[in-house]
């Protein structure tokens, strides 16, 4: 059993991490921590599934440009925390593929030039390593974990654009901290593929009809084990363990980790 896909009509790739199995027969509590794609179409009044969640905190991992193009629609009474994972890369002049999916899928020639010949996979792996090593990545994931440790945060949803890369790493960190095994973590990471491909189906179709390489589209839109393995290897190389990464890399104290476990474990 993994996290639960939640059939929202206005939020793509919405998943409740509740129910994910943990060590010792425990599980993640339902209804407290959720993940998704962007919230630019969220409509609580028209979406009873989302309304029932009672979201109190939203953590947005997107870049400034992504937020400007598709601003979140935040439920009334909820607070929005901006946690720009890729800020350092953007400031250095690099815009990772993870932050420009729609742009690249609109231009098959540019996609082939920038991402063909296996480059897309290597670029995503490099980006995942930056989730762990960059200052903005550390600050963003520290923001998430700090919020989750706070009893007042209520049900919390974290997201990026598609809800697969920056969001996928966040789910990996959290589930590992809570005691999920490697198989559970990888299963949850890969489980978003059907929802993401469905959400981007018109773009993928248009891309391939225009002569785009379908392998590039699928490598951009989906997630594969090597992406996550790159980030996990970066953690192992730099810190030795996920707990050390969280404590020494993110600067999240052990007391906050204990509070997260107490809140989110059933």
Domain harbouring 260, CATH code? 3.90.190.10
Strand 79-82 and strand 156-159: pairing? unpaired
Rounded distance between C-alpha atoms, residue 66 and residue 79, angstroms: 19
Residue 147: φ, ψ to 5°:
-65, -40
> Concatenated DSSP letters for 109-121?
HHHHHHHTTTHHH
The per-residue pLDDT string of the chain (266 residues; one tens digit each, 9 = 90 and over) reads 567 788 899 999 999 999 999 999 999 999 999 999 999 999 999 999 999 999 999 999 999 999 999 999 999 999 999 999 999 988 887 766 666 777 778 888 888 888 888 888 998 999 999 999 999 999 999 999 999 999 999 999 999 999 999 999 999 999 999 999 999 999 999 999 999 988 888 888 998 999 999 899 888 889 999 999 999 999 999 999 999 999 999 999 999 999 999 999 99
Q: How many domains does the chain have?
A: 1
- pLDDT value at residue 56: 98
- pLDDT value at residue 134: 97
pTM of the entire predicted model? 0.94
Residue 28 DSSP symbol: B
Helices (H) and strands (E) in the chain, counts: 15, 6
Return the closest-CA partner of residue 109 out of 213, 4, 34: 213
Q: 135-148 and 119-133 helices cross at what angle (nearest 10)?
A: 60
Residue 246 DSSP symbol: I
- pLDDT value at residue 195: 92
Residue 81: φ, ψ to 5°:
-110, 120
- pLDDT value at residue 94: 72
- Whether residue 29 contacts residue 263, with contact meaning beta carbons closer than 8 Å, is answered with yes
Range of the domain at 67: 4-264
């Amino acid at each position: 059993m993994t996290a639960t896909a939640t059939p929202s009509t206005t939020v793509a790739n919405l998943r409740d991490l509740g129910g994910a199995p943990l060590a010792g027969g425990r599980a993640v509590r339902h209804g407290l921590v959720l993940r998704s794609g962007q919230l630019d179409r969220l409509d609580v009044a028209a979406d009873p599934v989302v309304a029932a969640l009672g979201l109190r905190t939203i953590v947005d991992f997107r870049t400034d440009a992504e937020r400007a193009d598709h601003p979140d629609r935040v439920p009334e009474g909820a607070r929005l925390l901006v946690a720009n994972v890729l800020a350092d890369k953007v400031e250095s002049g690099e815009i990772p593929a993870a932050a420009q999916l729609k742009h690249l899928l609109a231009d098959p020639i540019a996609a082939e030039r920038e991402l063909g010949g296996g480059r897309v996979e290597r670029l995503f792996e490099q980006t995942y390593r930056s989730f762990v090593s960059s200052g903005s990545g550390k600050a963003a994931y520290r923001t998430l974990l700090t919020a989750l440790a706070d009893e007042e945060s209520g049900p919390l949803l974290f997201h990026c654009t598609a809800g697969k890369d920056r969001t996928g790493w966040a789910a990996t960190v959290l589930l590992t901290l809570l005691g999920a095994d490697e198989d559970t973590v990888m299963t949850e990471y890969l489980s978003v593929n059907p929802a993401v491909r469905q959400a981007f189906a018109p773009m993928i179709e248009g891309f391939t009809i225009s002569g785009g390489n379908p392998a590039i589209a699928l490598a951009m839109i989906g997630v594969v084990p090597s992406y996550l393995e790159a980030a996990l290897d970066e953690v192992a190389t730099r810190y030795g363990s996920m707990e050390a990464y969280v404590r020494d890399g993110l600067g999240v104290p052990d007391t906050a980790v204990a509070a997260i476990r107490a809140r989110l474990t059933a």
